[in-house]
Amino acid sequence: MGSLSTILKHQDEIYPLLKLKLAITKAQKQIPLDPHLTFCYSTLNKVSKTFSLIIQQLGSELRDAVCVFYLILRALDTVEDDTSIPTEIKVPILIAFHRHIHDRDWHFVCGEEKYKVLMDQFHHVSAAFLELGKGYQEIIEDVTKRMGAGMAKFISKEVETVDDYDEYCHYAAGLVGFGMSKLLLSSDLETVTPNWEQLSNSTGLFLQKTNIIKDYLEDINEIPKPRMFWPREIWGKYVDKLEDLKNEDKSTKSVQCLNDMVTNALIHVEDCLKSMAALRDPTKLQCCSIPLIVAIGTLALCYNNVQVFRGAVKLRRGLIAKIFDRTKTMDDVCGAFYDFSCMLETKVDKNDPNAMKTLNRLETIKKVCRVYGGDLHQRKSYVNDKTQSNALFIVMLVPLLAIMVLVYLNTHKLI
């Protein structure tokens, strides 16, 4: 009944959920007939239904390039993430990964479940890569080479300072933003802005820092050894060891540390919004902005939330569906960032050691939203829809839809 009660509590999310389900079903039917691309799109749908759906709006040639790019970097990330691989084996693979993508026969056994399948059948990804246009191949190879070298560097290097943290996030995701931007700029519909590389890097850092924050417990409990990406310069102000943050007797300090990490991530939001405002093609705006909106929503949920150290913290599926449904223009993007910034602002404890810094950064974000988003009050809120629920209306008209959604959510992973 948990899913049903959540759906009925947020009945304005039922219609977006159903639309998203239909869109996913439609996307699954549009998988190319080419066997290598068939594997790529099927695998992408398994590892990230969200991203799989987002890129469906792109033209077929660019969509194929982005799909292959994503899977290559996800495979590289799978090698990095597998803590059972000895360093002397892992590092050479990371450094040489940009060469392996040219080898139709190369594969490597690592990862679990869907990621293991990706690595076992990597020859499909290599074949699809070699069928892309030369320009796409050069972009993807360059990013893969730089990302692999950066990841190899941090296999034996601790994340000590905030500068180390930014550098690691640059290799892990800033380069992804750089590569995505170059792929998108290959279209005649987009033009190069003077600081596009900085903006692309910032969007990548924002996404990566969000993942590092929300995945604390999963990473620290990794077997056979933990993955540690939170910088000592931040967590060292609150605890003696990073793993101490999950101890219940350290809850107050843990939450303060968490808030410090979120505040650090917020510094990239202004660049994210500037990057989105520079996009001319509405489909590319939607493709790039939805992950960023989900990220700011996730940070708002994580902030001041001790549950980050106890279990999974993520946005409701219905809220993500609403984000997909409503995000069409830059005004929509700014509205979403404004809403989630306001949500985060209400959670700031004035006694938190970084409260003023957090509030100042949120105020800056809201100002930028007003610059690019026009009148933010003449629209529906992503977080607090003003439409009042009518219980009788729900009972009479919605039960069939609610049951359909409940059955689906209980048997599938929508997002």
Q: What digits encode the pLDDT tens for the residues 249-260?
A: 999 999 999 999
CB 254 within 8 A of CB 306: yes
Stretch 126-145: mean pLDDT: 96
pLDDT for 392? 34
Length of the chain: 415
Residue 72 makes CB contacts below 8 A (sequence gap 6+) with 101, 125, 129, 140, 144
pTM for the whole structure = 0.88
Distance CA 399, CA 378 (A): 31
pLDDT for 224? 81
Q: Is 310 helix (H, G, I), strand (E, B) or coil?
A: coil
CB 2 within 8 A of CB 308: no
Please provide the average confidence, as pLDDT, over all residues in the chain.
Answer: 88
Residue 230 makes CB contacts below 8 A (sequence gap 6+) with 159, 165, 212, 216, 242, 257, 261
Confidence of residue 6 (pLDDT cuts 50, 70, 90): low
